[in-house]
Structure 1
């Protein structure tokens, strides 16, 4: 008989999913560069994207670890995700130019 997942195992699953998403987002342009000549990223582009995504992920980890109350954590995590998305869009297409 299977045991019900514990709170710790659920947290681990969410953490793995989040860091897997970060890795997947970094792999998308790498794979696209193999398929088409339309995507041209330099080492600096990958470094900045990794810095942005890993920094956002670490900030979310800190929020989940330190902040009390689920609504506060959720609001702050959504704010971090929105900020990362805006910076990513600005870097990609010059959103504010």
Structure 2
């Protein structure tokens, strides 16, 4: 069983693990071409998501509400990431 401190550490460590994937891709392959601003934006998105999930874990008491709110937060992250990458909604800041 993980303690509260270990769960919080894991929540904030996951964005670093996710960011190592494109970093390794940049080092190993020419196919991945992330600039420092790409890493900055991805880091802001991932750490903001981790912050909000940790906030929900600490403030919301009912387990079903925690799960639903966290799923909503993750859905917003995924849709924002996809919009920035390929522009599925056609917004002005789309990546396509």
Whether these two folds match at TM > 0.5 is yes
List structure 1 runs of 4+ shifted beyond 6 angstroms.
none
Structure 1 position 29 matched with structure 2 position 22: yes
Unaligned runs of 5+ residues in structure 1 are: none
Residue 12 of structure 1: SS of its match in structure 2? helix
Q: Which has the higher contact order (CA 8 A, sep 6+)?
A: 1
- What root-mean-square deviation, in Å, do the aligned CA atoms of Structure 1 and Structure 2 show? 1.5
Residue equivalent to 1:76: 69
Residue equivalent to 1:44: 37
- Which residues in structure 2 correspond to 1:57-68 (within 5 Å)? 57-68=50-61
In our comparison, the structure showing a higher alpha carbon Rg is 1
Unaligned runs of 5+ residues in structure 2 are: 91-96
How many residues are treated as equivalent by the alignment?
90
Q: Deviations over 1:25-78 (max 9, x none)?
A: 111111000111111111111111111100010011111111121011110011
Q: Structure 2 length as normaliser, TM-score? A: 0.83
Shift of 1:15: 2.7
